[in-house]
Amino acid sequence: MEIKEILKKYSVFITGLYFLAVGIVLIVRSALGTTPISSVNYVLSLNSPLSLGTWTFIVNILLIAGQFWIIRKYKSRQDTIEILLQIPFSFIFSAFIDLNMALTSHLHPASYIASMALLLVGCIVQSIGVVLELKPRVAMMSAEAFVKYASRHYNKEFGKFKVYFDVTLVSLAVLISLIFTQSIEGVREGSLIAACITGYIVSFLNQKILTRRTLYRIHHF
């Protein structure tokens, strides 16, 4: 593969990370909860001096360590490289989250309808990020990679294990929130809505809008 082609693939991947970060931040700003994948990070950021981006990076590093533990008996050189690649991308993604949290600090929906609209926009933007992240097939984010290795290790279907993983994260977020505040923060109806519709939006964008042909045309515009 040529250097130019590799750079294009990574540029698409990093663009996807940016959209993913923006989508997560918009969902957080809707004040209706956050995505399952960010629920623990968000609750920890609400109850500590560390930012959402910082907690995102810390949790990603823990997930990376978890991947190494899962594959400890049968790890290949390719697996090791694949997992280590997640470290710099986790840092970039976390920086994107903090950047957009700063850029949207003024964003406070004035009504429930405005909050719901912002949530839906966040879900769409996040879905664009997911598609752009997956299309180049150059790397995976820590959460998806953890699910991939864990499902392979325990011989479970990826989709089903992803559901178990998301439910575990949300349950942990609720537990942490109850420990710190004796109430549930950061997990609301928006968390459920985001969990339910994002997959459908990703599927639609992947098949109808952000196809490989479309991305090829954009690159050669």
pLDDT tens for residues 64-118? 999 999 988 877 888 898 899 999 999 999 999 999 999 999 999 999 999 999 9
Neighbour count for residue 213 (Cβ, 10 Å): 8
Domain map of the chain by residue range?
Answer: 3-219
For the chain, which ranges sit under pLDDT 70? 1, 209-221
Residue 187 has a pLDDT of: 85
Residue 1 has a pLDDT of: 58
Q: Is the pTM of this model over 0.95?
A: no
Helices 36-46 + 3-29 axis angle, to 10? 60
Residue 217 has a pLDDT of: 56
| DSSP assignment letter at 206 | I
Residue 161 has a pLDDT of: 84
Which ranges in the chain belong to alpha helices (H)? Answer: 3-29, 36-46, 52-70, 77-84, 86-103, 112-134, 142-153, 158-181, 189-204, 212-219
Residue 103 has a pLDDT of: 96
Best CA proximity match to 81, nearest among 121, 41, 139, 16: 139
Residue 207 has a pLDDT of: 78
Residue 221 has a pLDDT of: 40
Residue 159 has a pLDDT of: 77
Euclidean distance between CA atoms 218 and 221, whole angstroms: 5
